[in-house]
Amino acid sequence: MARRRQAVTIKHVAADAGVSLQTVSRVINNEPNVRPEMKERVQASIDKLGYVPSIAAQRMSGSRSYMILAINDRERTIADWRAREGTDWVDQMLLGGMLTCDERGYRMLVELVDTHSDHVERELSATIAALQPDGVILTPPHSENPLITNLLAKRNIPFARIGSKALGPGVPMTMGDEHLAALATEHLVSLGHSRIGFIAGPEEYALAGWRIDGWEDAMAKAGLSTEDLCERGDFGYESGLVASRTLLEKSQPPTAIIASSAQMALATLAVARERGLDVPDDLSVVSFDNTPLVRFTQPPLTALDQPIAATAARAVELLIDSREDGLPEEPVVVLGELVVRSSTARARPRDGN
């Protein structure tokens, strides 16, 4: 049986170059205090042996871990995975974050943390002690949990807070939720809709309120009332059924509805069907998520495309560069766009509309 080829390690490079392990580590980590001729000798051995630096080797210098940690909500993430409902938040976060980490010689890991747990500080402390990340990405609702943000600030770990505008430790980042809600509203107004309903997310998410603000501002600019046209859900399908039924059972129901998640938009489609309404002829529907599912509904849903991958990529860049440049103090905004499909159409004339 053929012998398995032994992996080349930092020890092999050090022996071939005739230098210490610490010198090889400094070269790998591009440390400043290495003589040019020594760097050339080590690099020649790396090239000759085909050595690929490992995370462990990079950590030998002790100055950094080359690890970025992203923390997502445990309960909601696991529920989405088990339901297999096409939610792609984590996928998009990994797409942007992992590719950018790879370009910069870093690795990205995702940990799931229950933000409602009384033990969140202990749980996060254990994770940080084990991984020693160079930076942390917080997603909603973690990004506005003071137990988490204060812990990271106390440990002097740079972090990005996606879905937060609050000034303070860490860099706040948003995806322009007000802007996106206004885009959807303006699109529907341009189609002649004046009764535009809105299904918002739960109050624990600050961005849910920002989306209401964007809708209300665009309605006000168009001279339209929002009274009795907003219902809240929890981003899930069942809550979307309740909210859309409440809106469509009104004496003057909306002719268009913006739902703050793909699942709530799918629920709105279902309620429209059960009430005998045609989408988009009787009711226009807009989803606040451009997940894979919304492209294959009947009709395909007009959707607000949140730039999750681009935001995660920008967060990684800011965290890595913070060693030299520090973190921005003002919120960093990465704007998305409206993708128009066939679930929105010109409003039909209706009494009271």
Asked whether residue 71 falls in the same domain as residue 183, the answer is no
CB 52 within 8 A of CB 102: no
Looking at the domain assignment, is residue 94 inside a domain?
yes
So what's the pLDDT on residue 347?
94
* Per-residue pLDDT at 56: 54
Answer for the pair 173, 160: CB distance below 8 angstroms, yes or no: yes
Report the CATH number at residue 157: 3.40.50.2300
Structural domain contains residue 111:
yes
- Residue 251: inside a domain: yes
List, for residues 42-58, the tens digit of each pLDDT value. 889 888 888 876 655 55
Tokens of 229: 């046209």
- Shared domain for 52 and 92, answered yes or no, is no
- Residue finishing a domain among 20, 43, 59: 59
Check residue 1 and give its pLDDT: 39
For residue 285, the cross-strand partners are 257
What does each C-alpha distance from 215 to 180, 225, 286 come to in angstroms? 9, 11, 12
Residue 46 domain flag: yes
pLDDT digits (tens, 9 = 90+) for 291-317: 988 999 999 999 999 999 999 999 999
In a domain, 238, yes or no: yes
Could you tell me if 298 and 318 lie in one domain? Answer: no
State residue 54's pLDDT score: 60
Q: Which residues lie closer than 8 Å to 39 by C-beta, 6 or more apart?
A: 27
- The rounded radius of gyration (Å) of the Cα atoms in the chain is 25
pLDDT at 269: 97
Residue range 256-297, pLDDT digits in tens: 999 999 999 999 999 999 999 999 999 999 999 999 889 999
pLDDT confidence of residue 3: 40
Domain count along the chain = 3
Residue 195 and residue 136 share a domain: no
Question: Quick one: pLDDT at residue 182?
Answer: 98
Residue 344 lies in a domain: no
Residue 349: what pLDDT?
76
**52 and 116 share a domain?**
no
Q: Are 40 and 90 members of one domain?
A: no
Same domain, 297 and 184: yes
- Asked whether residue 181 falls in the same domain as residue 301, the answer is yes
For residues 167 and 252, membership in a common domain is answered with no
Question: What CA–CA distance (Å, rounded) separates 92 from 333?
Answer: 17
Q: How buried is residue 262: exposed, middle or buried, by Cβ count under 10 Å (0-12/13-18/19+)?
A: buried
Q: Which two tokens stand for residue 25?
A: 């580590």
Which residue carries 């790998």 as its tokens? 28
Looking at the domain assignment, is residue 345 inside a domain?
A: no
Q: Considering the domain boundaries, does residue 353 fall inside one?
A: no
Which residues does the chain have with pLDDT short of 70?
1-6, 29-32, 53-63, 350-353
196 - beta bridge partners? 256
| The pLDDT of residue 350 | 65
End-to-end CA distance of the chain: 81
Residue 184 and residue 167 in one domain: no
**Closest-CA residue to 221 (of 190, 260, 253, 177):** 190
Q: Could you tell me the residue range of the domain that residue 199 belongs to?
A: 177-305
Cα 238 to Cα 240: distance, rounded to the nearest angstrom: 5
Rounded CA gap, 189 and 273, in Å?
23
Q: Within a 10 A sphere around the Cβ of 270, how many other Cβ atoms? A: 14
**pLDDT for the residue numbered 353:** 44
Tell me what pLDDT residue 352 has.
45
For the chain, the three-class secondary structure string (H helix, E strand, C coil) is CCCCCCCCCHHHHHHHHCCCHHHHHHHHCCCCCCCHHHHHHHHHHHHHHCCCCCHHHHHCCCCCCCEEEEEEEHHHHHHHHHHCCCCCHHHHHHHHHHHHHHHCCCEEEEEEECCCCCCHHHHHHHHHHHHCCCEEEECCCHHHCHHHHHHHHHCCCCEEEECCCCCCCCEEEECCHHHHHHHHHHHHHHCCCCCEEEEECCCCCHHHHHHHHHHHHHHHHCCCCCCCCEEECCCCHHHHHHHHHHHHCCCCCCCEEEECCHHHHHHHHHHHHHCCCCCCCCCEEEECCCCHHHHCCCCCCEEEECCHHHHHHHHHHHHHHHHHHCCCCCCEECCCEEECCCCCCCCCCCCCC
Q: Can you name the residues that pair with 72 across neighbouring β-strands?
A: 112
Q: What is the CATH number of the domain that holds 52?
A: 1.10.260.40
Q: φ and ψ at 109, to 5 degrees?
A: -120, 150
Q: Which two tokens stand for residue 109?
A: 């890991």
Residues 166 and 183 placed together within one structural domain of the fold: no
Question: Are residues 274 and 248 both part of a single domain?
Answer: yes
How far, in Å, CA of 180 to CA of 108, rounded? 28
Written as one letter, the residue type at 68 is I
